[in-house]
Amino acid sequence: MRQHEAHGLARAALNVPDAIDSVAFCLNGERIVLPSGTSPVTTLLDWLRGAGGLTGTKEGCAEGDCGACTIAFEEPDGARVAANACLLTLGQIHGRAVRTVEGLRDPSGEPHAAQDAIATRNGTQCGFCTPGIVMTAWAHAVEGGNPHEALAGNLCRCTGYRPILDAFDRMPSEQPAPMDLPSIPAAPMLAGGGQVFHRPDSLAALVALRVAYPDAWLLAGGTDLGLRISDHREKPERTICTLAVPELAVAEVFPDGMRIGASLPYRRLLQLCESEPGFAAFASLLKRLGSRQIRAMGTLGGNLGTASPIGDALPPLLALGASVRLTGPDGEREMMVEQFLTGYRRNALTPGEVVRDVWLPRPPAEARFACEKLSRRHDQDITAAGLSVLLTLDGDRIATARVAHGGLGPSAARATAAEAALTGASFAAATFGHAATALNSDIAPLDDLRATAAYRRRAASNLLRRLWWQWSMPEAA
C-alpha cells in the first residue's frame, strides 16, 4: 500500500478532525487542560515536577522500581489504583483522574488517614520516598489485601519497613464510593513538541493506523516501552496508544476459559484469576509480576508483543495451552501462543497486525497446575528461572503434561523432552526426577547478572522435582 493511500485510510477510519486536541485530565479533583503544543509523550512525572508545580512526587529510578513517583488513578466506581508516574505519558492519562500527595488533605486542611498513620507510626525517616508510600497507602485503604504485597512497589532507602507496614496494617479501610468525575471528550490525536500521539477508539481505527504508520510506537501500559522515554529519554515522533480501544479491554468469562483483551491491565486479570476456579496458580504468580503500580499498567498484549524470554506471563500461557487472536488489514487469525513466539523478542505479527486478545483455557478441575518463579528478590524482580506445569492424571498415571519455561533460553517455550518423560508415566518422585533430567535438553540458559547458567539448570530441575512433593505431600513441601 502506498504511503498516501495508507494515510488516507487511517484518517477515514479515525474520522480525524483538522484540529489537534489538547491533553486534558482531572488532577486532584479539578479538570485541567494543558496548553496546546505540550508534548503528549512527556512523562506525567516530568510534567508534575515541572509545569505542574507539584514536587511531592519524586524521581528515584525512572524505571518503575522504587515507587517514589507513585500517584493514584481515581476510577468512576471509587477504586483507587496506584501507578508509576515515571512510566506514564501525558497521552496515556488523557481523560483520567489523577491524585497526587498534594491532593490528599480534606477541604478543612486536615491530613488524610494515610498521612496521619505514616507520621504517627514513625513510618518516615529521610522522607524522600514517603510521598510515594503515602500514595500507595491511600490506594491500599480502598483496595485492601496484604500490606506486604501492597508495599512491594515502594523501596524505602532507610530500611524502615516495620513501622511503615505497621501503619498500613492499622490504617482504617475505606469503602469505595462512585465518583462524579468531570467529563472529558475523547482525543483521537494529540500533538506537540514534534510528537504525534494517536488514541484510536476502535479496533478498525487501530489497525488502519498500524498500516499507515508501521514505524510508530505501539503503546499500551508502557511498563517496558515507557523505559525508553523515562530512562533513555527518547522522544518518539509518532505513537499509537491502544488504551481507548474497547475491543482490547474485554474480560469475558466462560465455563471453559477466559478471553482477555490485549490491553486489559494485569490488575484486572489478577482479580479474575483469584475469583475463577482453576486459575489460582496463575494468580499467585501475577502477585509477583511487578508491583501493584506495575500491574495497574502492564498487559498480556505487552508481554506477547515484546516476546521477552523473561516475560512472567508467558510460561503460564504456554502451559495452559493459550491461544492469541490477531487482527490486521486482512482480517483475523488465531494461533497457539507457542506458535506466536518465534524467537528472542520476535513474534508472528505481520505488518499491520495487532494482538486483539488471548484465550485462556480453564484447567480441568482435577488437574495439577503450578506457576513457579525464582528471582533474586521475591517481589518485583525479573525472573532468573521460571517454570509452569499443567498435568492431568488418570488414576496413578500422568495422562497429559504441558511444561513451559522462561528465562532459560532465547524465548519462553514448551519443554517437550520433560513433557515426554512425564506423559504416561506413574505419578511418582522417580518420574519427576527423570523429567527434571530431561529438562536439561529443553533449555539453553545464559550467564548474566541475575544468575549463572549452571544455577539456572539446577534450579529449573529442582523446581520440577519439588512439584511432586508439593502435590503429593503438601505438608512436607
State how far the Cα of 272 lies from the Cα of 153, in Å rounded to an integer: 21
Bridge partner list, 73: 81, 98
The three grid cell numbers given for residue 158, joined into one nine-digit string:
532507610
State how far the Cα of 135 lies from the Cα of 28, in Å rounded to an integer: 12
State how far the Cα of 145 lies from the Cα of 207, in Å rounded to an integer: 39
The three grid cell numbers given for residue 382, joined into one nine-digit string:
525479573
The three grid cell numbers given for residue 188, joined into one nine-digit string:
483521537
Helix ranges (H only) for 121-202 are 130-143, 147-150, 161-170
State how far the Cα of 26 lies from the Cα of 136, in Å rounded to an integer: 19
Q: How many CA atoms lie within 13 A of 233 on its CB side?
A: 1
- Residue 389 dihedral angles phi and psi, to the nearest 5°: -135, 135
Q: The cell 498500524 sits on which residue?
A: 210
> Which residue ranges form the domains of the chain, and what is each CATH number?
246-361 (3.30.465.10), 368-472 (3.30.390.50)
Bridge partner list, 81: 73
pTM above 0.95, yes or no: no
Furthest-apart CA atoms within the chain: distance in Å: 70
Which amino acid is it at 390? L
Q: From first to last of its 477 residues, what are the pLDDT tens digits of the chain?
A: 434 444 444 444 444 545 578 999 999 999 999 999 999 999 999 999 999 999 999 999 999 999 999 999 999 999 999 999 999 999 999 999 999 999 999 888 899 999 999 999 888 888 899 999 999 999 999 999 999 999 999 998 787 789 999 999 888 889 888 888 888 999 999 999 999 999 999 999 999 999 999 999 999 999 988 889 998 899 999 999 999 999 999 999 999 999 999 999 999 999 999 999 999 999 999 999 999 999 999 999 999 999 999 999 999 999 999 999 999 999 999 999 999 999 999 999 999 999 999 999 999 999 999 999 999 988 888 899 999 999 999 999 999 999 999 999 999 999 999 999 999 999 999 999 999 999 999 999 999 988 999 999 999 999 999 999 999 976 654
The three grid cell numbers given for residue 311, joined into one nine-digit string:
516475560
